[in-house]
Amino acid sequence: MRQDPSPSSGSSITLEDVARAAGVSRSTVSRVINGIRNVDPAIQETVRRAIATTGYVPNHAARSLVTRRTGAIALVVSGAGGEGADAPFPGQVFADPFFGRVVGGIVGFLRPRGIHPILMFAESAEIHAQVLTHLRHGNADGALLVSTHAADPLPRLLVEARVPAVLFARPAEPIPISYVDVDHRAGAKLAADHLVSRGRHRVATISGPLDVPAGQSRLTGFLDAMAAHGHAYVPHAEGGFTHHSGEAAMERLLDEHPGLDGVFVANDLMAQGALVALRHHGRRVPEDVAVVGFDDSSAATACRPPLTTVRHPVEDMAGEMARMLLTHIEQPGRPATSKIFDPVLVVRDSA
């Protein structure tokens, strides 16, 4: 089943060669390849055979020179502008398995379409500029942007440079750019309802950073839902979405409210940290304290006990993000749109 024509080295076979082999013109071969206009089926067959025999592979550069399309998409993972140098190498974000799911969803959508994303990290201002230049050089037709921090200037820069782009999560500032997001408030409500239904009355929460929309919405959504259940006051400690910040926040909460019996933690990584702190303080989970996380990352199942958590359909969201970008590339003038996904509660052992 494997074709293996003799002169497979290098591939200097051009359209011209195929045309000669098939006894037709370059145009006809091009039409067959691109499926444009009607070409006599018999000739089509001849051409196809000629392509197979010659082992022809289209030259991507030549094609994109004339079509002004690269067929490539950039996947940009972006941090804030003014972060410290706590990462000697880029790519540390992949320590969060969440990104693996995003990447998986994107690749799952793009790969069947023959597109492979170009991976870029942009964690400082000068690199933002570099990324932008790269994009404007025509190295990609558009960008998928996953920001790790609020106040990421890149979305705005992208809009200004007219680079088609779609974000994962709503931007902190209102700008005309498409994005996908999860309904954070609904997710937080799911967690609140669950904790209450489990009979927890002294519930606290560990939020994400409050300058991030996700951190903000999960907190307010949780507080509102708890209020609806009659809990006017819910202790709260702010974390930074990292394992250690979750552990530290739990310590603080435990110090100030030793009697708490339930906690909603705004992401799984922090919940994992919270679990460590709880164990350290001799609390059993879920008997003494019920814990609900958010994200359903692989950290959720790696924990002991496995976390009850709010699951985003991350893969679906990432796929939709890619689909939206392709649409924007296809139809340049299109206004920005957004799509919000419903989260689901995944009940495991921690609550």
Partner DNA sequence: GAGAGCCTGGAGAGCGCTCTCCGACCGCTG
Partner DNA sequence: CAGCGGTCGGAGAGCGCTCTCCAGGCTCTC
Does 190 bind DNA (CB under 7 A)? Our answer is no
| Closer by beta carbon to DNA, 2 or else 37 | 37
HEC profile of the chain: CCCCCCCCCCCCCCHHHHHHHHCCCHHHHHHHHHCCCCCCHHHHHHHHHHHHHHCCCCCHHHHHHHHCCCCCEEEEEECCCCCCCCCCCCCHHHHCHHHHHHHHHHHHHHHHHCCCEEEEEECCHHHHHHHHHHHHHHHCCEEEEEECCCCCCHHHHHHHCCCCEEEECCCCCCCCCEEEEECHHHHHHHHHHHHHHCCCCCEEEEECCCCCHHHHHHHHHHHHHHHHCCCCCCCEEECCCCHHHHHHHHHHHHHHCCCCCEEEECCHHHHHHHHHHHHHCCCCCCCCCEEEEEECCHHHHHCCCCCEEEECCHHHHHHHHHHHHHHHHHCCCCCCCEEEECCEEECCCCC
With CB under 7 A as the contact rule, the residue among 8, 34, 133, 338 that binds DNA is 34
Binding footprint of DNA, residue count (CB under 7 A): 27
Pick one of DNA, a second copy, none as the site partner of residue 26 (Cβ within 5 to 8 A by kind): DNA
| Closer by beta carbon to DNA, 133 or else 197 | 133
Binding mask 210-249 for a second copy (x = CB under 8 A): ---------------------------------x------
Does 100 bind a second copy (CB under 8 A)? Our answer is yes
Does 94 bind a second copy (CB under 8 A)? Our answer is yes
Does 2 bind DNA (CB under 7 A)? Our answer is no
Does 27 bind DNA (CB under 7 A)? Our answer is yes
With CB under 7 A as the contact rule, the residue among 3, 6, 9, 38 that binds DNA is 38
Stretch that binds DNA, among 60-68, 80-88, 97-105, 206-214 (CB under 7 A): 60-68
Binding mask 138-167 for a second copy (x = CB under 8 A): xx---------------------xx-----
- Residues contributing to the site for a second copy (CB under 8 A): 8-11, 57-62, 64-65, 70, 72, 74-75, 87-95, 97, 99-101, 103-108, 111, 114, 116-121, 127, 130, 133-134, 136-139, 161-162, 243, 272, 276, 279, 298, 302, 304, 315
Binding residues for DNA, rule: CB under 7 A, are: 12, 14-16, 24-28, 30-31, 33-34, 36-40, 43, 56, 58-59, 62-63, 65-67
